[in-house]
Amino acid sequence: MVVNRIMKYGKKSLAYQILYRAVKKIQQKTETNPLLVLRQAIRRVTPNIGVKTRRNKKGSTRKVPIEIGSKQGRALAIRWLLEASQKRPGRNMAFKLSSELVDAAKGSGGAIRKKEATHRMAEANRALAHFR
């Protein structure tokens, strides 16, 4: 799932290279099992609740909080991790991805901020929950 999200223009072998290099860098940085770091990063970034835009009869739009399932949450988490790693300054994608995954596993980084912003938005619009 991670490789298919990294892949651009159908170049799957390049996506595998990026992931393997990132895993190797995580191994060097943390000296722990990099798959555990990857799993923990995805688990930390996975959102429980999100917002969906709904339009009412008068034409105005509202952001209604909705619960997110585990599969959709995992997909969102992977997407957010990759977006945050692409925005990072750095040498190459493998380096940026490894840095983002380590930060997310520790509880910081761009993907964690995205999750917190989504949760804040859902919490602010809690009064609209009955519009589901």
Q: What is the pLDDT of residues 80-131, one digit of tens each?
A: 999 999 999 988 999 999 999 999 999 999 999 999 999 999 999 988 888 7
We report the CATH number of the domain holding residue 99 as 1.10.455.10
**Of the ranges 41-50, 55-64, 122-131, the best mean pLDDT one:** 41-50
**CA 66/CA 58 separation, integer angstroms:** 22
List the beta bridge partners of residue 53.
Answer: 63
Q: How many domains, in total, are found in the chain?
A: 1
Strand (E) positions, 56-97? 61-67
Domain range for 17: 2-131
